[in-house]
Structure 1
């Protein structure tokens, strides 16, 4: 934690701030939850978050003994909204890291024809090894402009579409999901080599690698490279249920119609379904599929209750053979 008692934040009463990256590096500096190296890869997201929080509180009691007991820290700034944001970010980071490693196992199999023997993940049924089907799973930062991923030609197509809308006083912006799955281009640009190997841990170096990977592949993606997108939430209120639906419809229209790309799959991963009629909300149809006619599809293709990093990553991994191109 960062001590702000002698350097207060203006207009706020905050006395301590959670150093999120330090928290993750301390708790997971030796392994990625749910992956090889994890002493018990069957544990839940909730367990890992609780352990990380307990580590933080124990360290705080040692580093700031004058504050007093752990209860004093609990009653200060490390619960409520502050901890809720960190817990939500950690949930997404742990999932993104497990997905990275699942994709790395897949990519090693695509290149060698042999599934990695040390992987905690299982080879998906009906999978066939070919380097043309390697996958990168990339976490995108909040507020990121996804257009930066596109090749110059694809970006020009998108910007021409936007200019036409703007001439009529309208817009339909490509949103930024939490995580995207991409078919690695062939020939493979240098920025993708990192996705061929698993993250051994979430030490500061590898956490930064996870969080900065999107920057290494900017300017390389066409519409056909998009396979899936994932919205990650620990839980959601009823009034926020429709954000993923809007995001899914916009992504599918822009990638499928404007960029002439793949039939993007959209997933919502949520830890807790309580407090809202989640399952009913996500039966909404995809507007793009209705426009095309023929086979109708949902905007959210798959709603998944994500409780464990390994199981969540395996569930996505098992879909890889379903993509025709």
Structure 2
């Protein structure tokens, strides 16, 4: 696969690598111009796992091995997209008088989705590694060498190990719950449904959970850093939620993160709704922890983001006393390294 480094690569080598990769059927681009997807005019599909593997096979952005770990998310995404366009130009050039035949005809919406997905993947990977360092400290009392600093006030104890887990889009979050907790949630839903109503547990992009004690073996993976974003690491990151299904109750949930590159003003209220529902179900239905909800955005332009997220949490108003925000923290996530450190620094603030 082609790699775009800060210094321009040898074009001949790049052509050879991209052509070989495509010929082996492992490329980042799938041609569907002949066998089209039904009811869609898509010419090409993008293999996101291959795209990430191509750009970040030797390191996790912002972490150990990164030649410049202070770079912003935008720079890493630009590297991956440049690789994609290079492979497309080499393997799918325009032919004759039909410029739409070549890879330049890739749907802009598809590229935009990939940009957003890669942003989320890079953040989740950096957070995984930050949590692994936290867990090493919890077990050993020694903060490991690396790009992240030990949070102020951190006290080592295996009882406070965490897992930071990326969840798939439209995932049924109740699958993470123990049978008893899932039954409590089901009873709640059943009572609403019999009266013609629902209040579904939503699926945030990323969740932080307290690892159960004694620790099930399925959580061993969260004690080690991801060395890179090669295909194997990518699949481990994307599939980790399946390994811990059926192990959590309300007390295990610490925080949830909605990750967005940017948002239109009419979409600002989706995270607010999600925050209120999560906090109600975790805190009231599952008798769980006081969940913190974060929104991480790369770009605040085009909408009154900070104004919208001043909204109070409805569950906190029901409890009385001091009200809290629905979105506990709005953070402009510019670089993977700083974003991971931001979450690390909050770890000692959870009292339970």
What interval of TM-score do these two structures reach, taking the shorter chain for normalisation? over 0.9
Gap change, CA 1:230 and 1:220, over 3 Å in 2: same
* Equivalent in the alignment of 1:295: 322
2:293 aligned residue (240, 256, 266): 266
Structure 1 runs not aligned, ≥5 long: none
* CA distance in structure 1 between the aligned counterparts of 2:73 and 2:180, rounded to whole angstroms: 40
1:268 match: secondary structure: strand
In the alignment, structure 1 residue 76 sits paired with structure 2 residue 105: yes
* Equivalent in the alignment of 1:129: 156
**Partners of 2:93 and 2:103 within 8 A in 1:** no
Instruction: Note the aligned Cα RMSD (angstroms).
Output: 1.4
Q: 1:87-166 to 2 correspondence within 5 Å? A: 87-117=115-145, 119-166=146-193
2:257 aligned residue (188, 212, 230): 230
* CA distance in structure 1 between the aligned counterparts of 2:259 and 2:217, rounded to whole angstroms: 28
* CA distance in structure 2 between the aligned counterparts of 1:210 and 1:263, rounded to whole angstroms: 26
2:346 aligned residue (316, 319, 325): 319
**Partners of 2:92 and 2:103 within 8 A in 1:** no
The TM-score normalised by the length of structure 2 is: 0.89
**Partners of 2:44 and 2:103 within 8 A in 1:** no
**Partners of 1:42 and 1:310 within 8 A in 2:** yes
The TM-score normalised by the length of structure 1 is: 0.96
Over residues 150-195 of structure 1, what are the superposed CA-to-partner deviations in whole Å (9 max), with x where a residue is unaligned? Answer: 0011111111111111222111111110000000000001110000
| Alpha-carbon distance, 1:66 to partner | 5.4
* CA distance in structure 2 between the aligned counterparts of 1:257 and 1:7, rounded to whole angstroms: 50
**Partners of 1:178 and 1:231 within 8 A in 2:** yes
**Partners of 1:108 and 1:116 within 8 A in 2:** yes
Higher relative contact order, structure no. (Cα contacts within 8 Å, ≥ 6 residues apart): 1
In the alignment, structure 1 residue 276 sits paired with structure 2 residue 303: yes
2:105 match: secondary structure: coil
* CA distance in structure 1 between the aligned counterparts of 2:278 and 2:39, rounded to whole angstroms: 39
* CA distance in structure 1 between the aligned counterparts of 2:169 and 2:93, rounded to whole angstroms: 35
* Equivalent in the alignment of 1:35: 63
1:267 match: secondary structure: strand
Aligned length: 321
